[in-house]
Amino acid sequence: MKQAWIKAMVAKLAATGSMVLFLVLVPAVAAGSLPLWAAGLLAVVGILALNVACGILLPAEETTVSRRVQPAPKAQPVQLRVVRGGRAA
């Protein structure tokens, strides 16, 4: 129980940290204080951190037979009648 809680907290911390990284990264490149190659490298690291964090936080998918796509029910025909003005109501 405690291990799952710690895992979730670390994943939330990684997601928050990578979002803060993106918020700081754009103004730093615009101001010229961070080279473009370093910004690209940090952006890739941030995307990887978000991918790992989301992979930990999302529940595992269940692949069972009951989750198969069911065909949609057939639509009932709609009866329209023409009223004054030539429009269907």
In a domain, 14, yes or no: yes
Q: How many CB atoms lie within 10 A of CB 52?
A: 15
Which burial class, exposed, middle or buried, applies to 16 when counting CB atoms under 10 A from its CB (0-12, 13-18, 19+)?
A: exposed
Q: 80 lies in a domain?
A: no
* pTM of the entire predicted model: 0.53
Q: Can you give the residue range of the structural domain that contains 47?
A: 2-58
What are the tens digits of pLDDT across the range 9-34? Answer: 888 888 888 888 888 888 988 898 98
Angle of helix 2-31 relative to helix 36-57, nearest 10 degrees, comes to 160
40-88 residue pLDDT tens: 898 888 888 888 877 777 766 665 555 566 777 788 887 877 777 766 6
38 located within any domain? yes
82 lies in a domain? no
